[in-house]
Structures are given as structure tokens and as C-alpha cells.
Amino acid sequence: MTSIRNRLVVALTILVVLVSILAAIVTYRRVLDETSDLFDYQLRQMALSLRGQVSFAPRIEVPPDQGDADFVVQIWDLFGTRVYLSRPGLPMLNQVVLGYTDLSLRGEAWRAYGLQTAQGVIQIAQPLRVRRVLARAAALRVVVPLLLLLPVMVAFVAWIVGRGLAPLRQVTAEVQRRDVRSLSPVTVTELPLEIAPLALELNRLLARLQIAFRAQRDFIADAAHELRSPLTALKMQLQLLDRAPDPQARSEARERLGAAVERSIHLVMQLLTLARSEHIEVAAPPTSIDLGEIAALALADAGVLASSRDIDLQLEAQPHSIVHGVPEALRTLARNLIDNAVRYTPPGGRVVVRCAAGRNTTDLVVSDTGPGIPATERARVFDRFYRQSAATTGGSGLGLAIVAAIANRHSAAVTLADAPGGGLEVTVAFPTAAFPTVAFPTVAATPASSREPADADGLRLD
């Protein structure tokens, strides 16, 4: 795991060392340049000061001057004879060069200045080493304090970073205190600009989690509550079966017991379906499928219930009403819509299922001749366990919640409206744009509004 503090410390150390080296180089160069000018000037001044004394110079070699080894003085007379050498033994150039010149003697670099006078030539030479030593000393004077300061800087940086990251540790501690039961938001005030967005996003996530957890908890509570009714009926019918005074009462109790068992099974199955509807994509990959086939299968499922209630089922499917989805889920959706319609439609009524592909949507429409749903109640019917007032259909109250969950997973819109002949009309509009690769040759020529039964497949289930 990378540590911001360690990375900063390493980076800063490297930076300080690099700066020190750079400063040393720059200082060395500048000091070298400056001392060069100075020494050059000094060489020239020395030569000039000796100008008047050339004629007095001893023509013989003087003993070596031990005191000042930094400078070497040579003097030639007009005939080119060396009349003076301050440090014998040093093989100086025999050729006189006037003005400044760089020499190399015995592997060492020298700087020399030659001056022409009326009596001869004076040459002053100095090893460059002297200048370098001075420059090096100056550079060291700059670098050493910088390097000595390095540990202090590292400690200081570590401390600053530590302080800077303290809010992060505080947020971490706060988050550590959270669990499923306490998803309260993290304190955001007084957080630095860099950490506040993280905390804000965390709070948004916590809020969403809290809503999800609450919904889950409510759902479990609701489900347990809803299970009580069929279980009450079960227990009661069992007791009535035990105490039935005559065969007729016994057979009635047995029949009702069976109905109560069926109802409990239905409720449990619907609960399972709802739970699965919210995680469809995990179960099966979506494919392109004709809504007409889905509707026909769902109608076949509802056939028994419909015929027992003397309700006419009708399918008007436009060919190539293709949608993109999970077939099993879509079949559940259609079955719940049809089941609902059949349950709420009085005997002798009719339930019509239409499939039609439009420009932007492909619609599944289920209409019935039942009592319909008042506009004021329409928003609530998608709630789990919501049943219409005085509803006595024995449904689970989950049908439309399942429809809504599956539609939501397919990005489809569910709308409730009054059917033309009274009753309820539910439209599930699947987006067409979501799968542009699927071609709709027949649909392009057909206006979306024409849903005449004449051009539809007439499948009837009685």
C-alpha cells in the first residue's frame, strides 16, 4: 500500500538533494567565474607593477621563492633571454605569449599573463587549482547548510502531512463506527477541501444504503404481516375441519382449507418472483424477443383461471413487436398483468392483450372490462401489498409491484388508463431505441396509432 506521507518525504528529500547539488554547481561556476576575473586582474596588476623593475632583475637565477608558490614570475629581456624565474624547476613555457593564456604544465592547468614592456617581457602565471579550491570551498558553504537542514525538513514535512491527513483519519474513524443499524452521515463541516467531497459522496452512499435497508426491512415486515392472513385462514379451516359436525361441513372445510393452502402458495411464489424481479440480469442474459410470443404464453397460463371465471381472453399481436429483454421475466410481467385483469373483471367480461411496435416504443397493452382504478389510486397500486379498497380478489397484492420491478429493469414505462369500454388499460412501453440493430421492416410503414384488430393475429383463448 502506498503512503502519501512516505511518498511526500521521499519526493521532498530527492528534491532537496537535487536543489543542493544544483546550488553547488551554480555556486561553484559563479565563484569560479568571479575569481577568474579577479585573479586575471591580479595577474595583470602584478605584471604591471613589475614593469618598471625589469631592468633591475638579476640576470642570474634567483633561489626559489618558497613563500609564494601560487604565482610564478618570468622575465625576458629584449633579446629573448629569460632573466628571471621566480620558481626554478618549473618548466615554464619558453615561448612568450602576450596577454592571457591557458597553459598546461605537467598535467596541471595554469593561467598566465604576458606583458610587453620597453625592456622586455614579463609573464605571471598561476595554477588554476587555486581558483578551483576557492570555488569548491564557496560551493560547500552553500550546500552544507542545505544538507544539514534536510533531516529537519523531512521531519517538518512528515509532521505537516500527518496533520494534513488527520481529517482523513477522523473520517475513517467515523465510518468505522457505522453499521447497518446506524448509517448516519459523516460530519462534513471542518473537513479540508480535498477530503470534503469524499465525505459528501460517502454520505450520499450512506443515505442511499439507509433507504435501501429501510425498504428491505419494511418489505420483510410487510411480507410477514401479509403472510398472517393466509396462515390464519389455514389454521382456522383446519380447526373447522376437525370440528365439522357433518360430512357436508367437512367437505366445505376441506375445500376452503385447500383454497387457503393455494393462497399461501400463491403469496409465497409472488414474494419469490418479486425478489427475483429485482435481480433479473443476474439470472439470464437479455435477448431480442417478440412480445406476441410472450403474450401468447402468458395468456395460455391464465387460461384456466379465465375460463373458470367465464372471461374471454383475446390477443391482438402485431408481428415483429420485438423487445430486448429477459424472456422469463417478461412472461412473468405479462402473466401478472393478465392475472390481475382476470381477477378484477366480473364474470362474462373480456381481457384483451395487444402488442404493437411504434416509432419509439414497443407496447404491451392489457385492457379489461372490470371496474378500473380511480385516478387517485393509480399511483399507489404499484406499492407492495396494496390492494384496491374492498378488494376481495384473493390476490397477493404484489402483482403490479412485480410488473413495476420487471418493467423498471427493462427501462420500460408502465401507465394506467381507462380502457375505451370502461375498465383498466395497462400499457408497458418498452424503448425501441435501446436496440437499434433490430430491424422493423413492417413497422416502418405502419403508423403507431393503427392498432386495428384487422391486421393483428387473432388468437383466442376461451
Footprint on this chain of another protein (rule: CB under 8 A): 225, 228-237, 239-240, 243, 245, 249, 252-253, 256, 259-260, 263, 389-392, 394
Q: Which is nearer to another protein, 190 or 242 (CB)?
A: 242
Q: How far is the CB of 313 from another protein (least distance, A)?
A: 24
**Residue 375 dihedral angles phi and psi, to the nearest 5°:** -55, -35
Q: How far is the CB of 228 from another protein (least distance, A)?
A: 4
Whole-number Å distance between alpha carbons of 352 and 237? 37
Q: Which is nearer to another protein, 263 or 409 (CB)?
A: 263
Q: Which is nearer to another protein, 253 or 406 (CB)?
A: 253
**What angle separates helix 399-409 from helix 247-277, to the nearest 10 degrees?**
20
Whole-number Å distance between alpha carbons of 461 and 308? 12
Whole-number Å distance between alpha carbons of 340 and 416? 13
Q: How far is the CB of 202 from another protein (least distance, A)?
A: 34
Q: How far is the CB of 247 from another protein (least distance, A)?
A: 15
Q: Where do we find the cell 381481457?
A: 351
Q: Which is nearer to another protein, 51 or 266 (CB)?
A: 266
Whole-number Å distance between alpha carbons of 152 and 69? 43
Q: Which is nearer to another protein, 44 or 250 (CB)?
A: 250
HSE, CB side, 13 Å, CA atoms: give it for residue 43. Answer: 30
Q: How far is the CB of 256 from another protein (least distance, A)?
A: 6
Pair type for strands 350-357 and 312-317: parallel
Q: Which is nearer to another protein, 389 or 437 (CB)?
A: 389
Q: How far is the CB of 389 from another protein (least distance, A)?
A: 4
Q: How far is the CB of 243 from another protein (least distance, A)?
A: 7
Q: Which is nearer to another protein, 245 or 436 (CB)?
A: 245
Q: Which is nearer to another protein, 69 or 249 (CB)?
A: 249
Whole-number Å distance between alpha carbons of 81 and 424? 131
Q: How far is the CB of 383 from another protein (least distance, A)?
A: 14
Torsion of the alpha carbons at 419, 422, 424 and 428, rounded to the nearest 10: 0
Q: How far is the CB of 240 from another protein (least distance, A)?
A: 6
Question: Could you tell me if 365 and 423 are in contact, meaning their C-beta atoms sit under 8 angstroms apart?
Answer: no
Q: CA dist 392 to 72, 217, 345, 395, 397, Å?
A: 125, 27, 12, 8, 11
Q: Which is nearer to another protein, 234 or 417 (CB)?
A: 234
Locate 142 and state its grid cell.
Answer: 552553500
Closest Cα partner for 288 from 316, 324, 252, 312?
A: 324
Contacts of 326 (CB under 8 A, 6+ apart): 280, 281, 283, 284, 285, 286, 287, 409, 410
